[in-house]
């Protein structure tokens, strides 16, 4: 059965999917989020909504707000050649902020422009709390009591505290603090709705991503990640802070190489943001007899080419529900999570290498994917 008390570290999509599912199952849930702001910044970034996310929203969402826009096709251009690939691919596109605000409305009743009237709790829901501005600092496992004690600090006041629960779920992203505390070996290497949920033509957005390869720590990277105030950002320069001179230079250099539609979209984007794209992969999803579990990007962070991070997070939520209902063991769940992560790490690489024209790297990833499929077929993956 689901644990009676749960602390989730990380209040983004992965943590909220787990939290909403547990709330509906009657568990008492506390979410600790490091960001102290009331509303997380989404940068209007796009996400692909997979079948598992749709399943969880159909099952638990009580807002009635559309979370995504259905898409039917996949087209690819190569430099100035249009429609090099043009195929049918049914999928749904959403906005990180829109999905986040729908989940928050369901989880703890957060009011927003997206959901101005959050739904009331359902009969049988557990009690929930959302604590912003709290950063995890330590873990202790009391095996005899069956409890995990989480130490944290308030990022604004510096005040320290401890909270205990039957289960700790680490959903704190690709730079997971819990993963660092546990010293887990880690390898690091379209149309969307607006954040406020507009899906009608004329108000929705075009989501585009421009991949630009740079050596980590190079002078050019430092220049790009230095904002208009001279601050160097470690991972993301938010909208409105990108140095306009750097952006103008980049556009002037590469715009002539783009297809006309893409060039128009790029040149007319008023407030771009810049972020680093990479991977973070570990191979141990659970600890302390299954009472501490890594989910979403905290377990494996994909490159963003396919936008499927939310689908992995949703799959982890479904897997944990099966564990708590006795439909699978934690060991089986861990194996399933590891295999899924391996597959999508390679699929994302193939998409990325294809777009960059790195033929040798592409064939290496394809060979690795084929070998993984063979291992899975033989039952040794």
Q: Is residue 344 part of a domain?
A: yes
Based on the domain organization, do 283 and 255 belong to the same domain?
no
Based on the domain organization, do 243 and 354 belong to the same domain?
no
Based on the domain organization, do 271 and 283 belong to the same domain?
no
Q: Is residue 375 part of a domain?
A: no
Based on the domain organization, do 24 and 111 belong to the same domain?
yes
pLDDT at 106 over 90: yes
Q: How far apart are the first and last CA of the chain?
A: 29
Based on the domain organization, do 130 and 226 belong to the same domain?
no
| Measured distance CA(92)–CA(194) in Å, rounded | 14
Tens-digit pLDDT profile for residues 185-229: 887 664 445 555 565 666 677 778 888 888 888 899 999 999 999
pLDDT at residue number 41: 58
Average pLDDT over residues 264-275: 88
Based on the domain organization, do 50 and 114 belong to the same domain?
yes
Which of 250, 275, 300 terminates a domain? The answer is 275
Per the prediction, the chain carries an average pLDDT of: 88
Which of 256, 275, 294 terminates a domain? The answer is 275
Q: Which residue in the block uniquely carries the two structure tokens 């983004």?
A: 12
pLDDT at residue number 375: 85
Based on the domain organization, do 51 and 26 belong to the same domain?
yes
Based on the domain organization, do 316 and 168 belong to the same domain?
yes
Based on the domain organization, do 68 and 57 belong to the same domain?
yes
Residue 177 structural domain: 5-189+278-366
Tens-digit pLDDT profile for residues 69-84: 777 777 777 777 777 7
Based on the domain organization, do 342 and 290 belong to the same domain?
yes
**CATH number of the domain that 61 lies in?**
3.50.50.60
Biggest distance spanned by C-alpha atoms of the chain: 66
Q: Is residue 220 part of a domain?
A: yes
Question: Interhelix angle for 51-60 vs 309-324, to 10°?
Answer: 60
Q: Is residue 248 part of a domain?
A: yes
Tally of structural domains, the chain: 2
Residue 128: its H or E element: strand 128-132
Q: Is residue 332 part of a domain?
A: yes
Which of 221, 241, 275 terminates a domain? The answer is 275
Average pLDDT over residues 312-333: 96
pLDDT at residue number 347: 87
Q: Under DSSP, is residue 126 helix (H, G, I), strand (E, B) or coil?
A: coil
Distances (CA, A) of 220 to 32, 159, 182, 214: 36, 39, 34, 8
Q: Is residue 372 part of a domain?
A: no
Based on the domain organization, do 83 and 142 belong to the same domain?
yes
Q: Is residue 337 part of a domain?
A: yes
Give me Rg for the CA atoms of the chain: 21
Q: Is residue 373 part of a domain?
A: no
Based on the domain organization, do 271 and 297 belong to the same domain?
no
Tens-digit pLDDT profile for residues 38-52: 766 555 566 778 889
């Amino acid at each position: 059965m689901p644990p009676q008390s749960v602390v989730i570290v990380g209040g983004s999509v992965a943590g909220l999917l787990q939290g909403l599912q547990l709330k509906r199952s009657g568990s008492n849930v506390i979410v600790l989020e490091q960001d102290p702001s009331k509303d997380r910044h989404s940068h209007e970034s796009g996400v692909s909504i997979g079948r598992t996310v749709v399943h969880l929203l159909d099952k638990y969402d009580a807002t009635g707000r559309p979370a995504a826009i259905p898409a039917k096709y996949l087209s690819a251009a190569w430099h100035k050649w249009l429609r090099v690939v043009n195929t049918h691919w049914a999928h749904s596109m959403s906005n990180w902020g829109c999905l986040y605000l729908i989940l928050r409305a369901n989880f703890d009743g957060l009011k927003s422009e997206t959901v101005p009237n959050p739904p009331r709790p359902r009969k049988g829901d557990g009690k929930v709390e959302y604590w912003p501005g709290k950063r995890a600092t330590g873990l202790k496992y009391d095996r005899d009591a069956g409890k995990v004690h989480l130490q944290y600090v308030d990022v604004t006041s510096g005040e320290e505290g401890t909270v205990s629960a039957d289960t700790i779920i680490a959903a704190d992203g690709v730079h997971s603090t819990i993963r660092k505390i546990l010293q887990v070996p880690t390898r690091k290497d379209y149309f969307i709705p607006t954040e406020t949920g507009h899906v009608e033509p004329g108000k929705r957005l075009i989501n585009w991503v421009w991949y630009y390869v740079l050596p980590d720590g190079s002078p050019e990277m430092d220049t790009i990640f230095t904002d208009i105030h001279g601050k160097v950002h470690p991972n993301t320069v938010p909208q409105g802070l990108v140095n306009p001179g750097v952006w103008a230079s980049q556009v002037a250099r590469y715009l002539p190489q783009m297809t006309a539609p893409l060039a128009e979209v790029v040149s007319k984007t008023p407030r771009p943001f810049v972020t680093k794209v990479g991977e973070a992969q570990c191979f141990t999803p659970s600890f302390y007899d299954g009472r501490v579990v890594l989910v979403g990007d905290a377990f494996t962070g994909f490159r963003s080419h396919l936008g499927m991070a939310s689908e992995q997070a949703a799959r982890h939520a479904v897997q944990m529900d099966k564990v708590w209902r006795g439909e699978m063991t934690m060991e089986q769940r861990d194996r399933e999570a590891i295999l899924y992560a391996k597959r999508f790490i390679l699929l994302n690489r193939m998409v990325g290498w294809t777009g960059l024209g790195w033929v040798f790297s592409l064939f290496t990833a394809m060979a690795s994917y084929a070998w993984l499929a063979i291992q899975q077929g033989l039952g040794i993956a």
